[in-house]
Amino acid sequence: MGYRLGVDVGGTFTDLLLFNQDSGAFWRHKTPSTPHDSSEGILNGVTAICAEAGVAANDIEYLLHGTTVATNAVLEGKGARVGLVTTEGYRHVMQIARSYVPGGLAAWIIWPKPQPLAALEDTVTVKGRMDADGNEYRPFDEKSARAALTTLKTQGVEAITVSLINAYVNGDHETKIGKLAAEILPGVPVSLSHEILPEMQEYERTLTTVANAAVRPVVSNYLSNLRGKLADKGFAGRLSLLRSDGGLMTSNRAEEHPVNILMSGPAGGVTGALWVGKNAGIKNILTLDVGGTSTDVALIENLEPRRVRTTEVGHLSVRASSLDVKTVGAGGGSIAYVPELTRALRVGPQSAGAVPGPVAYGKGGTQPTVTDANVVLGYLPENLLGGSFKLDRAGATKAVQTVADALGIDLMAAARGIIDIVNENMFGALRMISVQQGYDPRHFALMGFGGAGPLHVNAVARLMGSWPAISPVSPGVLCALGDATTRMRTETARSYSKLAAQTQAAELGTILAEMEAQLRIELVAEGVSDSDIEMEFEIDVRYSGQAFEVPLTITMGALQQDGVEGLLARFDAEHLRLFTFNMDTPHEIVNLRAVALGKALDLPAAQLPKGDGSPAAAKMRDHKLWMDGKEQAAVIYDRSKLRQGDIIAGPAIVVEMDSTTLIESGCVGSVDAVGNILINLAEGAVS
């Protein structure tokens, strides 16, 4: 019997989800994270969940892991000291970056400029030059390369990055420097930009290569430490990591290409939502992952999440594919305040974080937060099921009252105002990934998860017109579920940059086939059987002269059959959909991309016992909450006692170990066969 164990390490909690691959039965566990060494928390969790499920560590075939180790190394500047070798004349490439100052007019006055990821004193240049066609314009100068590398050796860098101008068309000089580096700085890992990212744009390629080099030692230490501890426990299965794009990669490969796991954390929620959607029969989903300080949103269309070509980490935008997850500074800990000059009500982005946290948590917080407003309104009942602490309702009331006084409105109106504004901020982020990308949110369901997602999902669904609002099974550990249920993935891309009129379909086919062969070798090396590999191809097209391309998925068959013309017709249709117009300008084929996927898992979800439609057996108690401008009677239910087919009339609250679902008045929740609560407008209610 095989088990898969999903492990998601968050800032506060480490979530685990153990999944029986045959029966679909699962166990979940939450344990405090151990930021000084997250493997400790993981081990604690593994011990606990194995005991709970009565399985031994060596029954676990796969341990699948979403981690923020790489993310934090970048955000906290704890990566390795990277030496950067670049082309003569380009020493300040990281210092100048794209010259961009975020914010509006005069924002430069208050913009704190971040330090480059490779320090300028550790950046050296080498003579020799390729032109834009890959021809050697000036020969490689070995003497200057030796001198440069020797300087870096003296400075004591821990990793080397080589990124030369136009290396994306010809990496020969980079390769030569790589060889010299191995000789002059033996044992120091070397990353070459044309290998990490063979794409145009020197700053982005350099940054990506540097980011990769900077997090490599951190990720490598972390993984070898984790592997050792797991082995001591008796774990003998395969350790894989969740990539930013929602696929898995073996831990060995992640050590070499950690740039692909920079957004491993948020990707887990999206892959979890995919699995839930598959089992609930819902194909179009907007995800709403509400944490303590921020909310992540993403879009899934036809069970395929939207991906983007960049990974945003802090102020850095790295060229590695990731799920298109947008983050807003709106979460349970977001602080509500009223600035003196405008007397407006603002919520976030400042957050009370985990410490001191919301006032209601009684850990020393004094400023009113979203969680406090939820407590005041009665949406978060005082005695949380299984919760080890009691909420301080009086404290929360006092804090929210300060907002009410500053605005000159009553307590409940202020509390609801805080909730409305934070919901609006989430709504804004969701619009960015839906309406703005040409998707109609009314064709999507909205799934809320993370600690506080199910509290807000109903209200945000109303704003979006996205029904049903879904509170998935185990919303508090959905990321771990996502880690456990996704599949292997790898991809590669190449710059092409030719007018479509000068392009033959056969030529594109040849390049795609080369890329396919390369990816197959990679996945086979990662333990996937060649016959299980599924390939996907994408071609980026734009009107020549535009800066943004539209990626079009394509099969080898379609490319042969419909040729380049077929591709262009699809581009025109997509451009019209996105931007409402077409042009007579020639088309340009910009990039080619290939994706290889491991076997799709057919993991069943466990069914709940059938009920009679009434949730009465799960009722815990009657309750009062504030909604629609008045106090209303509501009922609190215990989620673990709900059965399939139960219908819950709002207003109601459903509680479980680590999350609370709010069903608003005028709405009805129904429990599906596998335990998801699908909330819809009650008949006759208006959105």
Partner 1 sequence: MTAQIIQTNNTPFKKIAIDPVTLDIIENALRNARIEMDATLVRTAMSPGIREQGDAFPLIADHSGKMIVGQFGSFIGGFLEQFDGTLEDGDMIFLSDPYSCEGAVSHNNDWLVLLPIFKDGRLIAYSAMFGHQSDIGGKVVGSMPIDAKSVFEEGVRIPPVKIWKKGEYNDDLMKLVMHQTRKPDWCQADLNALIASCRVAARRVVEMADRFGDDVYISATQELLARNHRAMKALIAMAIGEDKVMFEDYICDDGVGYGPYKIKCTMWREGEKVILDFAGTDPQSAASINFFLNENMFKMFFGIYMIMVFDPQILFNDGFYDLIDVRIPKGSLLKPKFPAALSGRTHALGRIFDILGGLLGQKTPEFLNAAGFSSSPHLFYSGYDKKGDWFQLFQIGFGGIPGRPMGDGPDGHSLWPGFTNVPNEFLERYFPLMIERYETAPDSGGAGVHRGGNGIHMTYRFLAAGTISIHDDRWFVPPWGVNGGEPGERARKILEKADGTQTIVGNKVEDVRVEVGDQLHFITWGGGGWGDPLERDPALVGKEIVQGLVTVKGALAYGVVASENGAVDEAATAKLRADIKSSRGALPLFNYGPAIEELRQNCEAETGLKAPIQPVWHFAEAAE
The residues binding partner 1 (CB under 8 A) are 89-93, 95-101, 103-113, 120-121, 129, 131-132, 137, 165-166, 168, 200-204, 339, 341-346, 407, 409, 413, 416-417, 420-421, 424-425, 428, 431-432, 435-436, 497, 543, 545-548, 578-581, 583, 585
Q: Which is nearer to partner 1, 44 or 310 (CB)?
A: 310
CA distance 607 to 227: 34
Rounded to the nearest whole angstrom, what is the least distance from the CB of residue 270 to partner 1 in the complex? 22
Q: Which is nearer to partner 1, 305 or 417 (CB)?
A: 417
Q: Which is nearer to partner 1, 205 or 487 (CB)?
A: 205
Rounded to the nearest whole angstrom, what is the least distance from the CB of residue 135 to partner 1 in the complex? 11
Amino acid at 392: D
CA distance 474 to 671: 13
Q: Which is nearer to partner 1, 73 or 345 (CB)?
A: 345
Q: Which is nearer to partner 1, 56 or 499 (CB)?
A: 499
Q: Which is nearer to partner 1, 56 or 107 (CB)?
A: 107
For the beta carbon of residue 316, count every other beta carbon within 10 angstroms.
Answer: 18
Q: Which is nearer to partner 1, 108 or 389 (CB)?
A: 108
CA distance 458 to 424: 13
Axis crossing angle, helix 393-407 with helix 411-433, rounded to the nearest 10: 90
Judged on CB neighbours under 10 Å (0-12, 13-18, 19+), 659 is buried
- Closest to 147 (Cα-Cα) out of 172, 117, 121, 181: 181
Strand, helix or coil for residue 348: strand
Both tokens of 498, joined, read 């030719």
Axis crossing angle, helix 264-280 with helix 478-485, rounded to the nearest 10: 80
Rounded to the nearest whole angstrom, what is the least distance from the CB of residue 683 to partner 1 in the complex? 22
Q: Which is nearer to partner 1, 400 or 480 (CB)?
A: 400
On whether the CB atoms of residues 21 and 6 are closer than 8 A, the answer is no
Q: Which is nearer to partner 1, 52 or 136 (CB)?
A: 136
- Closest to 74 (Cα-Cα) out of 103, 115, 41, 112: 115
In sequence order, the 6+-apart residues with CB closer than 8 A to the CB of 449 are 269, 272, 273, 287, 288, 289, 290, 471, 472, 475, 476, 478, 659
Rounded to the nearest whole angstrom, what is the least distance from the CB of residue 401 to partner 1 in the complex? 16
Rounded to the nearest whole angstrom, what is the least distance from the CB of residue 617 to partner 1 in the complex? 39
Q: Which is nearer to partner 1, 138 or 599 (CB)?
A: 138
Q: Kindly report the CA angle at 26 between 25 and 28, in degrees rounded to 5?
A: 165
Q: Which is nearer to partner 1, 120 or 506 (CB)?
A: 120
Rounded to the nearest whole angstrom, what is the least distance from the CB of residue 444 to partner 1 in the complex? 17
Judged on CB neighbours under 10 Å (0-12, 13-18, 19+), 461 is buried
What are the DSSP calls for 278-304, one per residue? HHHT---EEEEEE-SS-EEEEEEETTE
* Residue carrying the six token digits 């000089």: 173
* Residue carrying the six token digits 């407006």: 344
CA distance 678 to 429: 22
Q: Which is nearer to partner 1, 103 or 364 (CB)?
A: 103
Rounded to the nearest whole angstrom, what is the least distance from the CB of residue 588 to partner 1 in the complex? 11
Q: Which is nearer to partner 1, 420 or 532 (CB)?
A: 420
Q: Which is nearer to partner 1, 48 or 496 (CB)?
A: 496
First to last CA, the chain: 48
On whether the CB atoms of residues 425 and 330 are closer than 8 A, the answer is yes
Beta strand ranges found along 567-611 (DSSP E)? 587-597
CA distance 33 to 607: 31
Rounded to the nearest whole angstrom, what is the least distance from the CB of residue 522 to partner 1 in the complex? 27
Rounded to the nearest whole angstrom, what is the least distance from the CB of residue 585 to partner 1 in the complex? 6
* Residue carrying the six token digits 């009410």: 404
| Count of helices and strands (H, E) across the chain | 16, 35
* Residue carrying the six token digits 């794409």: 199
Q: Kindly report the CA angle at 491 between 446 and 487, in degrees rounded to 5?
A: 55
Rounded to the nearest whole angstrom, what is the least distance from the CB of residue 423 to partner 1 in the complex? 9
Rounded to the nearest whole angstrom, what is the least distance from the CB of residue 498 to partner 1 in the complex? 11
On whether the CB atoms of residues 426 and 297 are closer than 8 A, the answer is yes
Rounded to the nearest whole angstrom, what is the least distance from the CB of residue 106 to partner 1 in the complex? 4
In sequence order, the 6+-apart residues with CB closer than 8 A to the CB of 4 are 18, 19, 21, 60, 61, 62, 64, 484, 485, 603
- Closest to 7 (Cα-Cα) out of 30, 34, 37: 30
Rounded to the nearest whole angstrom, what is the least distance from the CB of residue 379 to partner 1 in the complex? 17
Both tokens of 346, joined, read 């603002």
For the beta carbon of residue 246, count every other beta carbon within 10 angstroms.
Answer: 29
Q: Which is nearer to partner 1, 336 or 539 (CB)?
A: 336
Q: Which is nearer to partner 1, 381 or 417 (CB)?
A: 417
Rounded to the nearest whole angstrom, what is the least distance from the CB of residue 406 to partner 1 in the complex? 10
Rounded to the nearest whole angstrom, what is the least distance from the CB of residue 580 to partner 1 in the complex? 6
Rounded to the nearest whole angstrom, what is the least distance from the CB of residue 372 to partner 1 in the complex? 16
Beta bridge partners of 327: 296
Both tokens of 27, joined, read 């166990």
Both tokens of 568, joined, read 């262009």
- Phi and psi, residue 32, nearest 5°: -60, 140
